């Protein structure tokens, strides 16, 4: 089955690199107009939007701030007139040793929660009334296997933020299904991206590959194809579910 997203407008946060970039490109191949969000690499986002075509456009916003996050969605709606799918992919992972001073640890915790959980919550909150008015809308939140199996002590904030994202997704699915809104989670494991490379550099390649059942790490495109299927609306009865894509490293 070939997925056709022609005339669909999709906002993908954190789409200038890694998983988000691959998601944006696969959605574009399916015909979607993609709002390609970036934090600071506007040139890269513009290049990606240009290569996708389909009236895709780059949007820059610092998701660490509530005002900028809200303005992002408003700018996308103003430009396209509507939104069909919201994909909260942007995320950060800061290594925070418990032995650092209290103020620094708390700053890093707050920054992680702001980008990984508060920003998606703001975007969902603003998108939901729009979706209710249109009587349909799809939200896809990119979580992590860390939400279910936890992470190392240095990444407590990351795991906590991703766990919160799973609960947010379930709550939206349960609250707004009868108004035509479906919400899904996707939980990658180690995926060969720039962000994951920092973790691999710190703990070693063996740490990343020793417990997967396949012979290679997950690639961004593996995530992107699943997201594209969810964005098609063909799986609405799976609303509230989180799909694991982690090469069998964590099986629920």
- Residue among 136, 128, 129 nearest 168 (CA): 128
- In sequence order, the 6+-apart residues with CB closer than 8 A to the CB of 18 are 191, 193, 194, 195, 220
Q: How far is CA 248 from CA 48, 143, 218, in A?
A: 31, 16, 10
**Annotated catalytic residue 158:** yes
List the Cα angle 211/213/152 in 5-degree steps: 25
Collapsing DSSP to helix, strand or coil, 140 comes out as: strand
* Catalytic residue (choose from 80, 155, 158, 176): 158
Q: Which two tokens stand for residue 179?
A: 């108004």
CB 21 within 8 Å of CB 220: yes
Point out the residues that are catalytic.
158
């Amino acid at each position: 089955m070939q997925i056709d997203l022609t005339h669909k407008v999709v906002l993908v946060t954190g789409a200038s690199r890694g998983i988000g970039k691959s998601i944006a490109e696969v959605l574009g191949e399916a015909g979607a107009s993609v709002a390609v969000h970036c934090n600071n690499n506007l040139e890269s986002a513009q290049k990606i939007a240009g290569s996708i075509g389909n009236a895709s456009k780059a949007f820059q916003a610092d998701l660490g701030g509530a005002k900028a996050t809200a303005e992002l969605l408003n700018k996308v709606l103003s430009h396209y007139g509507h939104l069909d799918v919201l994909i909260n992919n942007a995320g950060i992972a800061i290594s925070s040793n418990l032995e650092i001073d209290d103020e620094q640890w708390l700053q890093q915790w707050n920054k992680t929660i702001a980008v990984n959980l508060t920003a998606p919550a703001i975007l969902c909150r603003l998108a939901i009334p729009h979706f209710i008015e249109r009587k349909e809308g799809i939200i896809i939140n990119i979580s992590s296997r860390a939400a279910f199996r936890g992470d190392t002590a240095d990444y407590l904030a990351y795991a906590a933020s991703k766990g919160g994202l799973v609960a947010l997704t379930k709550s939206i699915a349960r609250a707004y299904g009868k108004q035509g809104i479906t919400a899904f989670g996707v939980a990658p494991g180690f995926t060969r991206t720039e962000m994951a490379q920092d973790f691999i550099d710190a703990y070693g390649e063996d740490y990343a590959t020793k417990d997967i059942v396949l012979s290679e790490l997950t690639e961004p495109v593996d995530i992107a194809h699943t997201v594209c299927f969810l964005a098609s609306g063909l799986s609405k009865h799976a609303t509230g579910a989180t799909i694991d894509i982690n090469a069998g490293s964590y099986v629920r």
